[in-house]
Amino acid sequence: MFSAIKTLHQGVDVCINNAGLARPEPLLSGKTEGWRTMIDVNVMAVSICTREAYQSMKERNIDDGHIININSMNGHSVVPQSVVHFYSATKYAVTALTEGLRQELREARTHIRATCISPGLVETGFAFKLHDNDPERAAATYESIRCLKAEDMANAVIYVLSAPPHVQIGDIQMRPTEQIS
């Protein structure tokens, strides 16, 4: 992917890591395969894309790039639902990775910024993957409250990217007004 970006667009100036996948794999009874899938998508893919985006910026002397990790409110608190406990652990990892990235960027004396955007319930296909054996339950997830929309996420990204160069937005936590946890 990064090779194609280099060929078509010379490289990456802004990277938005929007990886997110949950499988219904509780800590006490979950399947190793489901855990590995979550680690690969939610942690490894974010880390690999971050590294490659940074290398692209560095090669081209881009000093004002931005890496944005779309995280989750589950990366800041553990909800009492066993099916998302492992998922929550992967999103806590994204929280730590973003702060570690910010620190490494400062050590590298670059002005590239790192931001985490942590939404609550967003109306996507997420619940249908989590509850793939129960599509009615998945649909009910989005019908229970007025959820965040893709446009809300896009507006948060635009806000982060429009911050003045001297402003580092570390984390935006956002959720639907009606969301309890």
The C-alpha atoms of residue 19 and residue 113 are separated, in whole angstroms, by 19
Of 87, 92, 142, 159, catalytic? 87
Backbone angles phi and psi of 55, in degrees to 5 = -60, -40
The C-alpha atoms of residue 49 and residue 149 are separated, in whole angstroms, by 25
The C-alpha atoms of residue 91 and residue 87 are separated, in whole angstroms, by 6
Q: Biggest alpha carbon distance in the chain? A: 51
Catalytic residue status for 159: no
CB 147 within 8 A of CB 123: yes
CB 84 within 8 A of CB 38: no
Which positions are catalytic?
87
